[in-house]
């Protein structure tokens, strides 16, 4: 055999092996993003199940706050719908609305001492607060996974393998509005 042919074959094998390593890393990152999304999904479903209970408890005490209760229910529905579609951008918008509605609901609850003293309300609001923290943590992990995937897809030579095998970028899960304190006095002005 010709020495040039042996060198070319060795280089070809090295390039092929390097391509396999890149491919496997891209697959790992894609599945990491999927796992992170599933973790968010679990927490959203848990909160989705708790919200009707909280609204039901609040309805007993807050008969004059129907608009706020309806806003939370409507936003919950929008979150569930975006989640079912896998619409990351829609989920971010719906989550923003839901968080605003929940903040408003909990702020209004301050004006109902009987409601605040209700053990079910206390447990549900604490559970939802814990789920909110979990969602925030999982959203951070998801966004980090998305970022790593998207960076890797754009780096050379990974972008060649990514394009060849159709690896796609993922969207970050962002909430449009920053969480801000609710002006309780302004609610009743």
pTM of the model: 0.77
- Check residue 171 and give its pLDDT: 92
Domain count, the chain: 1
The whole-angstrom separation of Cα 73 and Cα 58 is 12
Beta-carbon neighbour count of residue 177 at 10 Å?
A: 11
> CATH number of the domain that 35 lies in?
1.20.1440.20
The whole-angstrom separation of Cα 5 and Cα 24 is 28
**Model confidence over 77-97: pLDDT tens digits?**
998 898 888 888 888 888 888
Beta-carbon neighbour count of residue 34 at 10 Å?
A: 13
- Check residue 178 and give its pLDDT: 46
Reference 54, options 135, 105, 124; nearest CA is: 124
- Does 33 score more than 90 pLDDT? yes
**Band of pLDDT at residue 107, cut at 50, 70 and 90:** confident
| Terminal-to-terminal C-alpha distance of the chain | 91
**Band of pLDDT at residue 188, cut at 50, 70 and 90:** very low
Q: Which domain holds residue 91?
A: 3-187
């Amino acid at each position: 055999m010709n020495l040039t042919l042996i060198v070319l074959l060795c280089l070809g094998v090295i390039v092929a092996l390097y391509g396999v390593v890149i491919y496997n890393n891209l697959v790992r990152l894609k599945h990491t993003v999927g796992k992170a999304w599933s973790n968010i999904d679990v927490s959203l479903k848990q909160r989705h199940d708790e919200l009707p209970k909280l609204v039901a408890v609040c309805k007993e005490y807050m008969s004059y706050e129907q608009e706020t209760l309806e806003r939370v229910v409507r936003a919950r529905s929008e979150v569930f719908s975006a989640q079912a579609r896998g619409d990351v951008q829609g989920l971010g918008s719906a989550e923003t609305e839901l968080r605003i509605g929940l903040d408003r609901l909990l702020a209004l609850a301050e004006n109902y001492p009987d409601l605040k003293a209700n053990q079910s309300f206390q447990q549900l609001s604490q559970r939802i607060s814990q789920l909110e923290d979990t969602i925030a943590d999982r959203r951070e992990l998801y966004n980090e996974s998305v970022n790593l995937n998207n960076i890797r897809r754009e780096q050379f030579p990974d972008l060649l393998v990514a394009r060849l095998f159709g690896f796609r970028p993922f969207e970050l899960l962002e909430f449009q509005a920053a969480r801000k304190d609710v002006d309780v006095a302004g609610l009743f002005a």
